[in-house]
Amino acid sequence: MPRIALATYDPGTAPSKDPDLAGLVAELRAAGADAEARFWDDPDADWAGYDLVLIRSTWDYTWRPAEFLAWVDRVDALTLLLNPADVVHWNADKHYLGELASAGVPTVPTHYLPPGAEPDLPTGHEYVIKPASGAGARYAARYTPEERESAVRQLAHMHAEGLTAMVQPYMRAVDQHGERALHFFGGRLLHASRKGAVLVSGTPFDAAKTAHPKLEKWQPTAAELDVAERALAAVPGGAERLLYGRVDLIDGEDGQPCVLELELIEPHLFLDLHPESRPRIARLIIEAAQGS
């Protein structure tokens, strides 16, 4: 019986924001695994005692990335960690978008402004500013060229916190066609979802946002599947090293899908929307643990 830990975050006195965690633990146990959820920063956790530590919903890691990545390296040295530590390091910084673009994968055009950089912002179109290490639309906002003063204030705030900012054109097609999330598990498409636009014009960068508005099931097109598979194949070491991955797509100015983000650390699986995927996920997790 494989011992499996699902690494999550500590919500304190509030309910967990991961609606899939309890059901996935139950599914793993029903399939014959000794499975439990553990807080990733639990000092008493014996990570070496598990056959597999699966990163699931460590959703506070972007607030303390150095601590999280040190934990990733420590656990990776003790047991099987999925996804692997080097993939987690690579995916934790969205400079990977530039690497995907260099590999010929269609991506949202992105330039980066590290602390100390001049506020080089677009003057002819609407754009988005967000951190190069972030999740859940934290510190993300959209601006028109006329809102430069507000955008510069956001940059100053982020730079004061040591954050590198990403600047991307706002792809207006998202207002009509939404954002598509293609989930892969065990090297194959698991399911896909579509959500509405997250960033509402005029919303302050530090305001709370709904990360997955108007979520619905989606049947991906051939073009979307092609871009998603090309993105995963461009991951250092190849897609075969990944147990799971989510590719977030948006339509570019040419109407074709391009990568907005590649989620290889702790993607929300949306199992409340796709409960039929739970048994397959449990089987693949157990197979990975047994293979260790």
Could you tell me the CATH number of the domain that includes residue 221? Answer: 3.30.470.20
Q: What is the mean pLDDT of residues 273-284?
A: 97
User: Nearest 5°: phi and psi at 96?
Assistant: -60, -25
Residues 181 and 264 in one domain: yes
3-class DSSP state of 267: coil
pLDDT of residue 21: 96
Residues 239 and 262 in one domain: yes
Residues 151 and 177 in one domain: no
Asked if 85 contacts 50 with a C-beta cutoff of 8 angstroms, the reply is: no
Name the amino acid, one letter, at 45: A
Average pLDDT score, the chain: 93
Instruction: Tell me, yes or no, whether 130 lies in a domain.
Output: yes
Instruction: Tell me, yes or no, whether 104 lies in a domain.
Output: no
| Residue 279 pLDDT level (bands cut at 50, 70, 90) | very high
Residues 139 and 191 in one domain: no
User: Minimum mean pLDDT among 5-14, 135-144, 233-242: which range?
Assistant: 135-144
Residues 134 and 48 in one domain: no
pLDDT of residue 138: 75
Residues 59 and 25 in one domain: yes
The percentage of residues in the chain with a pLDDT greater than 70, rounded to a whole number, is 97
Residues 184 and 265 in one domain: yes
Q: What is the mean pLDDT of residues 49-68?
A: 95
Indicate whether 40 pLDDT > 90: yes
Between 133 and 270, whose confidence is greater? 270
| Residue 206 pLDDT level (bands cut at 50, 70, 90) | confident
Asked if 96 contacts 90 with a C-beta cutoff of 8 angstroms, the reply is: yes
CA distance 249 to 53: 28
CA distance 231 to 237: 12
| Residue 213 pLDDT level (bands cut at 50, 70, 90) | confident
| Residue 201 pLDDT level (bands cut at 50, 70, 90) | confident
Domain span including residue 18 = 3-83+284-291
Instruction: Tell me, yes or no, whether 143 lies in a domain.
Output: yes
Instruction: Tell me, yes or no, whether 275 lies in a domain.
Output: no
Instruction: Tell me, yes or no, whether 91 lies in a domain.
Output: no
pLDDT of residue 137: 64
| Residue 77 pLDDT level (bands cut at 50, 70, 90) | very high
pLDDT of residue 209: 63
Indicate whether 93 pLDDT > 90: yes
Tokens 């099931």 belong to 217
Asked if 241 contacts 222 with a C-beta cutoff of 8 angstroms, the reply is: no
Instruction: Tell me, yes or no, whether 90 lies in a domain.
Output: no
What's the pLDDT tens digit per position in 113-132? 999 999 989 999 999 999 99
**For the chain, how many structural domains are there in total?**
3
Instruction: Tell me, yes or no, whether 134 lies in a domain.
Output: yes
Residues 163 and 251 in one domain: no
| Residue 62 C-beta-side C-alpha neighbours within 13 Å | 20
CA distance 28 to 66: 31
* Cα angle for residues 236, 237, 239 (degrees, 5° grid): 90
User: Nearest 5°: phi and psi at 73?
Assistant: -65, -40
Residues 58 and 26 in one domain: yes
